[in-house]
Structure 1
Amino acid sequence: MRRLIARVVTAVLAALAVLTTGTPAHPAEPTSPAVTFTNPIAEQRADPHIYKHTDGYYYFTATVPAYDRIVMRRATTLQGLSTAAETTIWTKRASGEMGAHIWAPEIHFIDGKWYVYFAAGASNDIWKIRPYVLETSAANPLTGTWTEKGRIALPLDTFSLDATTFVHNGTRYLSWAQNDPAVGSGTNIYLARMSNPWTITGTPVRISTPTHAWETVGHRVNEGPAVIQRNGKVFMTFSASATDSNYCLGLLTASASADLMNPASWAKNGQPVFKSNDATGQYGPGHNSFTVSEDGRSDILVYHDRNYRDISGDPLNDPNRRTRYQKLYWNADGTPNFGIPVADGITPVRFSSYNFPDRFIRHWEFRAKLEPNVTNLADSQFRVVPGLAGSGTVSLESANYPGHYLRHKNFEVWVEKNDGSTTFRNDASFHQRAGLVDSADGVSFESYNFPGRYLRHYDYLLHVQPADTTTARADATFYAE
């Protein structure tokens, strides 16, 4: 009954709008429209970090397999970083400190200057890993002269790495990973206030220790903290377990009004939020950073992984971690939804309903339907790929079931595996049209083999039906998000 009432209300509002304005009712467009990328972005680049600056450029740095230098590239678009020229901005010292294992550089712009945070060993003790800082006042950090500000002094002189910095409520913080022999083997996540970009002040606090099974495979690891602040919360991702296919992302959360220096302010998710996926062929996703799309309306997850599970020897000697992007989504409760590491190639999008903006196309037991609050994100993500039938068509491939597509069968829409038949190719192909009731921003999908019939929802189930009424046209209009 509630569905019927909703449909009646929608139809009445649409009819009134047409009568008074000549156009259908226009619900709010998405605040975060679709962004797509082609992965991977950079081969043999691990621990990626991207900074979007006010000069219109994205600055990208990452670990190189030789562990001997810091590289950087810039571009005005995120995808453009994949082909941008790369510059070596600093090379390891020939001897002493900063002479080995140059790891996990991050680029930040603070108080008018550029800073690079990185970890390094010593030439005579390559596992004496500590955090260091470089500085330049050049407008373009790729061409600047870098000054070594030296090691970040920490109370414990032990294995420590992956320093990152962020500002919250006017205070700058440093977070990093470090071993404390009193706690046990492996690394924990620490937090401290900063008095300047290379100096901490006060006593650091330990906010996370690897205790769950998924944090302790191969090694006891919490490392690579990265912060994103949204919806009244401070979210800190971190990487866990050995750097093979067991590597994954965990999540810490604190209230924006809490004392971040109180370990009790931080809650850890009981399960990883991002992990290997056999279906998409992505393994060991981790050591991420966050950035935003060119228009600032979408949050972007930047991370590395491999496209194979099995590694011969020490994973640290395997050079093939690749930098990748995908859009970060947000659940209705304000928490981040990372989904799964998607397949190589074009990244997927979600499709929200024009007339039910909180509902998305998703599959449930392979039936395509419209639902709100799809926390199993990949059920509602589809790659728009060249149509299986050709002829300028598109097909919608499931993100979590690669090789499966939205197809109509008896005019009902299902997600099914491509069986290679002509019938399947035709049923799974559509002509992508401008939205039937919002041609500027919306999108509609007309059946390839039944012209005049469109992908539409009815009673929240997807069908291929004629779009011959105002309600039907609204039901057949979607927004890519």
Structure 2
Amino acid sequence: MAVLVGLAACLAGPAPAAQAAVPASPGVTYTNPIAEKRADPHIFKHTDGYYYFTATVPEYDRIVLRRATTIQGLSTAPETTIWTKHASGVMGAHIWAPEIHFIDGKWYVYFAAGATNDIWAIRMYVLEGTGANPLTASWTEKGQIKTQWESFSLDATTFVVNGVRYLSWAQRDPSVNNNTDVYLAKMANPWTITGTPVMLSRPTYSWETVGYKVNEGPAVIQHGGKVFLTYSASATDSNYCLGMLTASASADLLNTANWSKSSTPVFTSNASTSQYGPGHNSFTVSEDGKSDILVYHDRSYKDITGDPLNDPNRRTRVQKLYWKADGTPDFGIPVADGVTPQRLSSYNFADRFIRHWEYRARIEANVSPLADSQFRTVTGLAGSGTVSLESTNFPGYYLRHKNFEVWLEKNDGSATFASDASFYKRAGLADSAGVSYESYNYAGRYVRHYDYLLVVQTPSTATDRADATFYAQ
């Protein structure tokens, strides 16, 4: 019987073109910034369908919360002050870096604070909230998180791996001539660590020691059996950046030998997109739960007058976090203000994405750098209901056809360029869940790949239509 089935298959002719599954993580876009003058942002998606957002305010005097059913909605959501600094004594100055978590049926906010008689006596504190909505909850102070030393400590975050709850934070070792290292400990309850803390990272690389020797602001994301811990390094100006530690989720996380540290930063300032000092991040998920979202602050300019801590213009931003084929995160670059970019994968070559390579557009797998395969969908340069695809790492450069080949070129302002760089966004020719791009000035011609290069042609076969269909990711 198997032989007959095989013979029938051969007689039926060649198999149809391979088809990619609809992406598990479809495209999602947001418009940045999410919040002006809000640093050290933390966005938490709760089971009640709301996102909860807190951040450092430039006055350093209170803890604020917003909530919305969408990440974008946080930008216009009303803000509630849930706690204000003490008039005297501890918790009376430098209210920094709040995070909100929901643990065992109650809300907890972790934050750092100085004292009125010593504003640099920064320590970590916890608030506990009772009530379904933390904006209206009853909040009580659970006091200081005690660690191995009574020294400068801040940026507490908590996470669970394999049922065990941990606290990670930044603290100054009194015996070492630097600012802060990153530590980890298990928790006995949401405001108490247990056991001996371990140091996970100390600033030793050149990019961790510009201005100050700093590792701070730990944040954790888990993926594919791995634990990734990001942290911020160097001074809080344009040198601020993200580093990353990696461990297996099945390893003993309190054994520093089980963590590996990236020798280079994973997220840095980018002059082409006018984003400077990206850092103090957190992670959340998209509204459909299918995309990981990087949350961070930065500034829109490089040069700061005076102490960066006195500059109020760090703003909260978000963008999609992508994953490499080996299961590690790809942060890309801090994208330009405005709508965030997407990637476009091939319908019939699922691992290949539209990218530019030496300004020629093609499809390719394992794109590096990531930004070569990220494009902003913007209002078409030719108008008339069209769209244009703008490069992420070369703002002002667009995909355009030239002699029916697709290239990435800088907008020269001409009517010809505008026409060549404008497309009608159509439902995918091979799958309506995808997208196809019809040329504005050559009706019936679509962007497609041919020998992995992008061209503009009139599709006539099933293969043509498959080659002209893409998925937003």
TM normalised by structure 2 equals 0.97
**Mapping for residues 90-169 of structure 1, pairs under 5 Å:** 90-169=83-162
Asked if structure 2 preserves the Cα contact closer than 8 Å seen for 1:337 and 1:375, the reply is no
- 1:214 corresponding residue in structure 2: 207
- 1:445 corresponding residue in structure 2: 437
**Mapping for residues 221-370 of structure 1, pairs under 5 Å:** 221-370=214-363
Asked if structure 2 preserves the Cα contact closer than 8 Å seen for 1:348 and 1:399, the reply is yes
- 2:15 corresponding residue in structure 1: 13
**Mapping for residues 41-52 of structure 1, pairs under 5 Å:** 41-52=34-45
Structure 1 residue 27 displacement after superposition? 2.7
Structure 1 residue 26 displacement after superposition? 4.3
**Equivalent position to 1:53, from 18, 36, 46:** 46
Q: How many residues align?
A: 461
Structure 2: which amino acid aligns with 1:143? T
- 2:400 corresponding residue in structure 1: 407
Q: Name the SS for the 2:47 alignment partner.
A: coil
1:480 aligns with 2:472: yes
- 1:398 corresponding residue in structure 2: 391
Asked if structure 1 preserves the Cα contact closer than 8 Å seen for 2:113 and 2:123, the reply is yes
- Distance in 2 (CA, whole Å) between partners of 1:274 and 1:13 is 44
- Distance in 1 (CA, whole Å) between partners of 2:270 and 2:442 is 36
Structure 1: which amino acid aligns with 2:422? S
- Distance in 1 (CA, whole Å) between partners of 2:269 and 2:129 is 38
Structure 1: which amino acid aligns with 2:435? V
- Distance in 2 (CA, whole Å) between partners of 1:470 and 1:144 is 58
- 2:167 corresponding residue in structure 1: 174
- 2:454 corresponding residue in structure 1: 462
- Distance in 2 (CA, whole Å) between partners of 1:71 and 1:249 is 25
Asked if structure 2 preserves the Cα contact closer than 8 Å seen for 1:43 and 1:323, the reply is yes
Structure 1 residue 14 displacement after superposition? 2.4
- Distance in 1 (CA, whole Å) between partners of 2:224 and 2:385 is 41
- 1:430 corresponding residue in structure 2: 423
- Distance in 2 (CA, whole Å) between partners of 1:27 and 1:264 is 40
Asked if structure 2 preserves the Cα contact closer than 8 Å seen for 1:173 and 1:194, the reply is yes
Deviations, residues 312-367 of structure 1 (Å, cap 9, x unaligned): 00000000000000000000000000000000000000000000011000011111
- 2:3 corresponding residue in structure 1: none
Identity of aligned residues (%): 77
Unpaired runs of 5+ residues, structure 1, are 1-10, 16-24
**Mapping for residues 65-84 of structure 1, pairs under 5 Å:** 65-84=58-77
Q: CA RMSD in A?
A: 0.9
Q: Name the SS for the 2:16 alignment partner.
A: helix
- Distance in 2 (CA, whole Å) between partners of 1:244 and 1:13 is 57
- Distance in 1 (CA, whole Å) between partners of 2:172 and 2:59 is 24
- Distance in 2 (CA, whole Å) between partners of 1:379 and 1:32 is 19
Structure 1: which amino acid aligns with 2:322? Y
- Distance in 2 (CA, whole Å) between partners of 1:153 and 1:436 is 61
Unpaired runs of 5+ residues, structure 2, are 1-12
Asked if structure 1 preserves the Cα contact closer than 8 Å seen for 2:237 and 2:276, the reply is yes
Asked if structure 2 preserves the Cα contact closer than 8 Å seen for 1:331 and 1:375, the reply is no
Structure 1 residue 186 displacement after superposition? 1.0
Q: Name the SS for the 2:336 alignment partner.
A: coil
Asked if structure 1 preserves the Cα contact closer than 8 Å seen for 2:20 and 2:346, the reply is no
Asked if structure 1 preserves the Cα contact closer than 8 Å seen for 2:63 and 2:84, the reply is yes
Structure 1 residue 13 displacement after superposition? 2.8
Asked if structure 2 preserves the Cα contact closer than 8 Å seen for 1:237 and 1:250, the reply is yes
Asked if structure 2 preserves the Cα contact closer than 8 Å seen for 1:37 and 1:325, the reply is yes
Asked if structure 1 preserves the Cα contact closer than 8 Å seen for 2:19 and 2:349, the reply is no
Structure 1: which amino acid aligns with 2:442? F
Asked if structure 2 preserves the Cα contact closer than 8 Å seen for 1:427 and 1:448, the reply is yes
